[in-house]
Amino acid sequence: MRVKLYSFILILNSFITGLIVPVLSLLLMDKGATLSTISVIMGIYSFTVMIFELPSGIMADLIGRKKMFILSLILSLVYSAIILLGRGFFVLCAGIFIYGLNRAASSGSFEALFIDFYIDEFGKDNMHHGTTLINVLEILGLSVGALVGGLLPEVSKNYFHTLGTYDLNLLARIPLIAAVIILSYIFINETNDKAGKQISLKQHISNSSNMVMKNKNIICIFISVFSTGFFLSSIETYWQPHFISMITDDNLMMFLGVMSFLYFAASMAGSIFSSKIMTKTNIKKMYLILRIILFISLILMALQTNVISFAFFYSFIYFIFGMANIPEGVIINAEILSEFRASILSVNSLMLQFGVLTGSLVNSIIIKYAPIPILWMIAAGVVLLSVLIIYNGLTRGQPNKGTIEIS
């Protein structure tokens, strides 16, 4: 019963996020941003997450993950209201700052709750199934949300003439977020939050830091995740304007939703496929091979000049990305003690946002002198560089202390 309940909360929360995914860049531009200021605005988001990611993870371990998750939902409500009612660069910066706080508060809290619950219920032997379930449910919610989010601008244009083109995407989020807050408050129970309260904040930071610094597997994943953030910032910020430039059809909004649905569906398919084959292969080597394929796919996508081939490689990138997420999650979670899980997963998310911030800053400069595909080629180079850096650490590092043999 608890698995179904937690799964429903995860899907619904992901659906809410998905509602703005296919139109986020266009929403910001509709509210007054430009191609160059979009990168600045998203850089503020990433910087905010970076600053508050680790403190929020530590607080989740110490005072409770449920409390931090509900706080993140309240911040999501505030963010939606600010962007909905405001306009202009500084208002968007304020809204995206709140969005960053929301992301920081939520990143490690619910995942840590779910992973610990899954291990308690089904044992560490089945942790890869729990990791897969999280990825699949999250992607399922995002993909359906993105499909609906791509259609909402057309609904708004045809039936809600007083609203902005993308305002309905924000309005639809508000009652759904309220529903998730109520469900989480009533039904989510914590079983492992007391362990963290028995030690001081200083000791908690010291213990979790020592765990990371002495573990090559965790450090390698952090480096790889940084490169993920870099390439995601390039794709997710600029795929919509680039896609628009290749389409002359007036039914544009529907295609945006379909594209977002395709990449979420491809990522979900990759996660499921990865879970089925990872018990039959060396997980660390599988992870490295997938990252190399990701590098090649980014180059190929950047070279495409028509909609069909672009959509194919765009979706294929997320298929490989989804495949890589499962061994990545198993490698890092197998190394983490329960009482430090939210903290270290928050550091992992911090590295992702550091990559996004770095990518956003680099992109905001390069986009002034080069076309969008050049940004994707640079991102591919960052992914390849990360593989070269972590290769020895993962292939020669200590085996994970879980029950799945991955070394």
> Using N-to-C axis directions, what is the helix angle for 252-277 and 216-245, rounded to 10°?
150
pLDDT in tens, the chain (407 residues): 677 888 899 999 999 998 988 788 889 989 988 877 887 888 888 788 888 888 888 888 788 888 999 999 999 999 999 999 988 999 999 999 999 999 888 876 787 788 777 777 777 667 777 778 888 888 889 888 988 988 898 888 888 888 888 999 999 999 999 999 999 999 888 765 444 445 666 777 777 787 778 788 889 999 999 999 999 999 988 888 888 888 766 555 567 667 777 877 888 899 889 988 877 788 889 999 999 999 999 999 999 988 889 989 999 999 999 999 989 988 888 888 777 787 888 788 888 878 988 998 899 899 889 999 999 999 999 999 999 999 888 877 544 443 344 44
Number of domains the chain is built from: 1
Residue 19 inside a domain? The answer is yes
- C-alpha 144/C-alpha 19 separation (Å) is 8
Residue 196 inside a domain? The answer is no
- C-alpha 124/C-alpha 122 separation (Å) is 7
Residue 39 inside a domain? The answer is yes
Q: What are phi and psi of 292, to 5 degrees?
A: -65, -45
Query: In 10 A of CB 301, how many CB atoms?
Result: 24
Residue 174 inside a domain? The answer is yes
Residue 403 inside a domain? The answer is no
Residue 197 inside a domain? The answer is no
Model pTM score: 0.71
The CATH code of the domain that includes 307 is: 1.20.1250.20
CA separation, residue 63 to residues 97, 184, 396 (Å) = 24, 16, 37
Could you list the residue range(s) of the whole structural domain that residue 316 is in?
2-187+202-396
Residue 219 inside a domain? The answer is yes
Task: Specify whether the CB–CB gap between 180 and 74 falls below 8 A.
Answer: no
Residue 405 inside a domain? The answer is no
